[in-house]
Structure 1
Amino acid sequence: MALFLSEKDVEELLTMPLVIEAVEAAHRELSSGQACDIPRQRTRLPQTTLHVLQGALPGLDAIGYKAYTSNRSGVRFLVYLYSASTGRLRAVVEADRLGMMRTGAASAVATRWLARPDAQVAGVFGAGWQAEGHIEAIAAVCPLRRVKVYARRSERLLAFCARLSERLGIEVAAAASPEDAVRGSDIVSTVTTSATPLFDADWLSPGTHINAAGSNSLIRRELGEDVLKRCSPIVVDSIETALREAGDLLPWLEKGRLQARQLLELGDVICGRQTGRSASAEITLFESQGMAIQDLAVAVRLEALARERGVGSELPFGG
């Protein structure tokens, strides 16, 4: 029978190293032509929007989708995992934590392949749920000694830094300003819902790697054109998805200052089809929009762990 895994079940089973491995493997499969991914589609009403991401990983006997609704009352996530060979439902997973961890993991994978090997200081914009997973993921692939976090709500920021410092065993401190977060950072990550650029290009040091994880629609923009002009290469999780919803890139593409052929896919960098960082002074950029195959790769591993450990509950349908 198909399994149902609650947020509590996901929290019990999921670890960041497992998610990072799953996400990197999914990008390898996409680059090698062994996976397919359909960009996010949205059905909008004045009060609620339904978002659906679809994909398949035949090598894992997996096909499915993530569906979530956004409303003033909150956002609700579910992943539906099916057998690619039989079409039968394998699992339904509550996916708030899953999505948070795989978003962070995608930036961690990009950081592993694009940041300088000696990167030790990170500057992060955002102190919410997604930023928490983001910092944990980067710390799992880099020998971070310090993280500077900037957010508008100082009381929330201080509590956030204290909690992450204790949990990760590294210095996580509040940045005094956006400039303070960027200057001297080897890695700069943006995990916000900002509609306007967060920092100036002049604050970036040569050799910085940037993860932009919040701009997944036209109304969101975390990086300005001054920053984009300094970035090479510009890497995306999926070119097709980026051309639809990368709010940071679309204005530049529309003006003809960036061409789609200049974008590299993360999976191609991982597989060696494209060159990522080629010089220590390059400022590299990863634009993350999110992909169904990332969620499905994690869900497959979750299902296997759940069945092995007797976690979750059987659904009365889908078998």
Structure 2
Amino acid sequence: MRILQLPEIRAVLEYPAIIERMRDALIAYSHGECDTPMPMHLAIAPANAEVHMKSSYRRGGRYFALKIAATFPGKGSSGMMLLSSADNGEPVAFLADSGHLTDVRTAAVAALVARELGRRDRVLGILGTGIQARLLAAIHAEIMELAGIVIWGRTPERAEDCRRDLQELLPDTEISVVADPAEVARRTRLIATATAARQPMLRAGDLQPGTHISAVGSDSPGKQELDADILRRASQLLADSRRQCEKLGELQHAPDQMGRVVEIGEFCLAPTLEDSAGITVCDFTGLGVEDLYIAEYCYERAQ
């Protein structure tokens, strides 16, 4: 069994290639080519922490994957992926990624959606100040020329830390911090939300016509970043998985809208933007098939 530590994993990551892998993964998922069980969630109450376990197998593929990712407040993310042979079940690779691959593939899917929607925005708004926020900025910058990034976070010190990090990473991009989420919506029409919020941070009245929101934070029951009226007023609703988002994503708060949800994999093959001036929302819960595809990518590249 090959053991890949985080430095080795980082060394093989190429964001444009990962975006394409995620596109392939989501198309395979929506085509029903993968066995991808619902995620398992484990709450570690004393630490106010959560652990997610996901898995997937692409029928006819060489491997299956199991991923464990944990988030402990104040201690960052941790996690691992195990890639095993579909022939005999033997593990072939242990990826000690500390949760990094989960963050990368999530940001890559958000960037993919922006690209598939044909977004040409010059300013990206981000709610959240963690590793996910930094990767959302970095990977969106791979697919569009960003003149500015607007950040909001609950803790001003963390928001400023995030701003400094992004300014160093993207020196030609103006990075600014604002005081509230509504100000982000006033400054840009391309927004990514990456928090663990359980109360809406954005409301329908905050948004400009033509705004797109990638909501990546809600991945378990009770989480919510967007007021449900945003989903009801949106002209287009996308989701990585209907069945997961209905239970775990923003759509758990607007189940009456499920009938018009289009999965990302479906949209990639048959894009249909119903109203260019309308609001579009993509709901992300994270799929085991994404973990399978990025684990395969790292293992192949490290050979």
- Answer yes or no: same fold by TM over 0.5: yes
Verify: 1:83 aligned to 2:78, yes or no.
no
Partner of 1:241: 244
Q: Cα distance, 1:175 vs. partner?
A: 1.8
Q: Cα distance, 1:69 vs. partner?
A: 4.1
Q: Cα distance, 1:164 vs. partner?
A: 0.9
1:1-319 matches, within 5 Å, as 2-44=1-43, 46-47=45-46, 50-58=51-59, 60-71=61-72, 75-95=77-97, 96-114=99-117, 116-168=118-170, 169-246=172-249, 248-253=250-255, 258-272=256-270, 275-307=271-303
- Secondary structure of the corresponding residue to residue 82 of structure 2: strand
Report how many residues are paired: 298
Unaligned runs of 5+ residues in structure 2 are none
In the alignment, the residues of structure 1 paired with residue 96 and residue 65 of structure 2 have an alpha-carbon distance, to the nearest angstrom, of 14
In the alignment, the residues of structure 1 paired with residue 70 and residue 180 of structure 2 have an alpha-carbon distance, to the nearest angstrom, of 34
Using the TM superposition, name which of 57-66 and 99-108 deviates more.
57-66
The one-character-per-residue Cα deviations of 1:251-274 (angstroms, maximum 9, x if unpaired) are 221xxxx243221110000111xx
Q: Which has the larger radius of gyration?
A: 1
In the alignment, the residues of structure 2 paired with residue 7 and residue 131 of structure 1 have an alpha-carbon distance, to the nearest angstrom, of 19
- Secondary structure of the corresponding residue to residue 249 of structure 1: helix
- Secondary structure of the corresponding residue to residue 268 of structure 1: helix
Using the TM superposition, name which of 289-298 and 44-53 deviates more.
44-53
The one-character-per-residue Cα deviations of 1:62-114 (angstroms, maximum 9, x if unpaired) are 21211234556664311111122343322111231111111111111111122
Q: Cα distance, 1:193 vs. partner?
A: 0.9
- Secondary structure of the corresponding residue to residue 213 of structure 2: strand
Using the TM superposition, name which of 124-133 and 41-50 deviates more.
41-50
Check the 8 A contact 2:65/2:295 in 1, yes or no. no
In the alignment, the residues of structure 1 paired with residue 43 and residue 115 of structure 2 have an alpha-carbon distance, to the nearest angstrom, of 36
Once superposed, which parts of structure 1, at least 4 consecutive aligned residues long, lie more than 6 Å away? none
Q: Cα distance, 1:49 vs. partner?
A: 5.2
- Secondary structure of the corresponding residue to residue 293 of structure 1: helix
In the alignment, the residues of structure 2 paired with residue 235 and residue 46 of structure 1 have an alpha-carbon distance, to the nearest angstrom, of 32
The one-character-per-residue Cα deviations of 1:201-251 (angstroms, maximum 9, x if unpaired) are 1221111110001011222110002322221211110111112211x2212
- Secondary structure of the corresponding residue to residue 189 of structure 1: strand
Check the 8 A contact 1:184/1:205 in 2, yes or no. no
In the alignment, the residues of structure 2 paired with residue 205 and residue 137 of structure 1 have an alpha-carbon distance, to the nearest angstrom, of 24
Check the 8 A contact 2:55/2:291 in 1, yes or no. no
Alpha-carbon RMSD: 2.0
The one-character-per-residue Cα deviations of 1:165-203 (angstroms, maximum 9, x if unpaired) are 221232221123322211141201110111111122122
In the alignment, the residues of structure 2 paired with residue 225 and residue 105 of structure 1 have an alpha-carbon distance, to the nearest angstrom, of 25
Using the TM superposition, name which of 145-154 and 26-35 deviates more.
26-35
The one-character-per-residue Cα deviations of 1:111-131 (angstroms, maximum 9, x if unpaired) are 1122x4322221110111111
Amino acid at match of 1:262: R
In the alignment, the residues of structure 2 paired with residue 181 and residue 192 of structure 1 have an alpha-carbon distance, to the nearest angstrom, of 15
Check the 8 A contact 2:150/2:187 in 1, yes or no. no
Amino acid at match of 1:91: A
- Secondary structure of the corresponding residue to residue 111 of structure 1: helix
Identity value in percent: 26
Q: Cα distance, 1:142 vs. partner?
A: 2.2
Scaled by the length of structure 1, the TM-score of the pair is 0.87
Check the 8 A contact 1:239/1:263 in 2, yes or no. yes
